[in-house]
């Protein structure tokens, strides 16, 4: 494994984050997970656009040189001998003195690493009871490194031997899974929760929505319980849902089609 | 400055967090800020107790050896020549492969550092409009390193030349300031928001409540706007509020008394 860290390609043991980095002390950062297929960085423009939205919201002053970053990503893949991979780009605000208020002159920290691609497998999903997604926060609309609600929800699923959990927002509407958006076919119509309910604007979510007709509407747990088909989407792929709570589902035709076509 | 990192006392440039540490990649950690006065770690038992609550909630399996950690804190203070300080203890889940679900065998990362104490100064406070505190999440009840909502609120205050911001919860009730609890005297009665509204169970909050009578009740912005006195509390001290939104306040008798007595 090779880690690209602020311009250097290093072995993980040699790569170093400063303990005063706000990414470590305050979760003050952003990330993107990018699917690499046959050596190509899929939908990389969309990832850079979303990263840009996050940098703007958090006022992290990184000048994104897309060519240089893409070059660094390819260098990591080459060093690791990977052409089919999940690539992670992490940007934190950088090393700082203590305190919540950031100094605007901080130099952001940029890290890139990759692992071999493991396609998402069909999985079972439950509703998280331990926590809720903060739909009232703009943080829910960019991909940040302050992930504890998703981690708690995923841990609850794992404790129950379930593959993933759906987070509800404070009003009880379905928001998303712990690192994926959720889609359901209900009364023959493909639907997904709107961003205002706490769904991350997922890159694959957008790809599905421009590939076939999708309705955006608030979904309750009861709505999902009567779905004919459910699947999760992330940049790493489409994951058919084989059980929602105690209800079994079969892998549906839309998930199968999207797995082929996206 | 000296940093204690997993058992070693190091110069900051030599201290190293692995870029794969979940504290850096996912905000998966906890921290405590401890006031040091005349070389003594104030209310250290309470800090260890709250850290324990956080470790339990997140299922981070750190065996807390309180004597060893207190010894490490004193070693940092000695190395830095500090007897009046703000000390920070950070615990992350540790270095891991990618993914939300943590491996239970991870070895947590522990970092301790200190800076000279700067007593909180009287300050002006506004109501954050950019985000809300997630009172529906248990994460709001422990002190974690997933801090982006507080950071956004503090940045909004700084943009307005204001010292701190009050976060409301999703229902519009006052929760807390960005790194402090809030107290107000309304109709002659000292009150503070309850934990269920999204207030962190602050160590100084508890100290105030066991020092004088305090009512816990949900507070609206309008309630604060007619307060006779407002102050913020954190482990670093009492901060009198000299303006709430556009309303000026004088430093009140309770804040003055608490600054003397706690």
pLDDT tens, residue by residue, A177-198: 999 999 999 999 999 999 999 9
Average pLDDT, chain B: 97
pLDDT the model gives residue A258: 98
Angle (CA) B5-B9-B15 rounded to 5° is: 50
Pairing label, strands A123-127, A237-244: parallel
Phi and psi based region of residue A144 (left: phi greater than 0; alpha: psi -120 to 50; beta: remaining): beta
Residue of B13, B22, B25, B104 to mutate, interface with A, max A Cβ within 10 Å: B25
Mutation target to probe the A interface, by most A beta carbons within 10 A, among B16, B24, B111 is B24
DSSP class of A221: H
B-chain residue closest to A89, CA distance: B25
β strands within A77-228, DSSP E: 85-92, 109-116, 123-127, 164-168, 174-177, 181-186, 189-192, 215-216
Of the partner residues B31, B57, B148, the one whose CB lies closest to the CB of residue A144: B148
Give the phi and the psi of residue B76 in degrees, each rounded to 5.
-65, -45
Would an 8 Å CB–CB cutoff place A2 in contact with chain B?
Answer: no
Q: A146 CB near a chain B CB, below 8 Å?
A: yes
- Pinpoint the alpha helices (H) of chain B: 22-26, 44-58, 66-80, 148-159, 203-211, 221-225, 253-261
**pLDDT < 70: residue spans in chain A:** none
Residue B19 forms contact with A (CB below 8 Å): yes
**What is the chain A residue with the closest CA to B17?**
A17
pLDDT at A198: 98
Residue A203 in tokens: 């890159």
Name A90's bridge partners.
Answer: A31, A111
Tokens 């482990």, residue located? B235
Residue A151: predicted pLDDT: 98
Residue found by looking up tokens 């492969």 in the block: B97
Q: Specify which residues B218 forms β-bridges with.
A: none
pLDDT in tens, B44-96: 999 999 999 999 999 999 999 999 999 999 999 999 999 999 999 999 999 99
| Rounded Cα–Cα distance for residues A6 and A112 (Å) | 9
User: CA–CA separation, A27 vs B148, rounded Å?
Assistant: 7
Burial label, B13 (beta-carbon count in 10 A; 0-12, 13-18, 19+) = exposed
Q: What is the pLDDT of residue B219?
A: 98
Please list the residues that pair with A86 across neighbouring strands.
A35, A115
Q: What is the pLDDT of residue A230?
A: 98
CA atoms within 13 Å, Cβ hemisphere of B202 = 26
| Rounded distance between C-alpha atoms, residue B85 and residue B114, angstroms | 6
Cα–Cα distance between A91 and A113 in angstroms, integer? Answer: 12
pTM across the whole model: 0.97
DSSP state of B59: T
For the segment B136-181, what is each residue's pLDDT rounded down to a tens digit? 999 999 999 999 999 999 999 999 999 999 999 999 999 999 999 9
Sign of CA dihedral A219, A225, A228, A233: positive
Predicted confidence at residue B236, as pLDDT, reads 97
């Amino acid at each position: 494994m090779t880690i690209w860290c602020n311009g250097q390609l290093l072995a993980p043991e040699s790569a170093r984050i400063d303990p005063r980095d706000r990414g470590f002390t305050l979760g003050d950062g952003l990330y993107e997970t990018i699917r690499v297929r046959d050596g190509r960085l899929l939908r990389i423009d969309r990832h850079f656009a979303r990263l840009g939205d996050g940098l703007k919201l958090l006022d992290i002053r990184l000048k994104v040189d897309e060519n240089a970053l893409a070059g660094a990503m390819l260098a990591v893949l080459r060093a690791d001998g990977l052409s089919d991979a999940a690539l992670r780009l992490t940007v934190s605000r950088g090393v700082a003195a203590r305190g919540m208020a950031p100094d605007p002159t901080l130099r952001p920290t940029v890290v890139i690493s990759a692992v071999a691609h493991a396609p998402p497998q069909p999985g079972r999903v439950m509703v998280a009871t331990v926590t809720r997604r903060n739909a009232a926060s703009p943080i829910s609309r960019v991909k940040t490194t302050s992930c504890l609600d998703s981690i708690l929800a995923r841990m609850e699923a794992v404790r129950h031997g379930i593959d993933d959990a759906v987070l509800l927002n404070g009003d009880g509407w379905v928001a998303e899974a712990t690192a994926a958006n959720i889609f359901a076919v209900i009364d023959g119509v493909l639907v997904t929760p709107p961003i205002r309910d706490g769904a991350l604007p997922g890159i694959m979510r957008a790809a599905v929505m421009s590939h076939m007709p999708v309705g955006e509407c608030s979904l309750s747990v009861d709505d999902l319980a009567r779905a004919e088909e459910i699947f999760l989407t992330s940049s790493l792929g489409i994951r058919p849902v084989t059980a929602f709570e105690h209800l079994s589902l079969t892998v549906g035709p839309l998930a199968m089609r999207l797995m082929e076509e996206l």
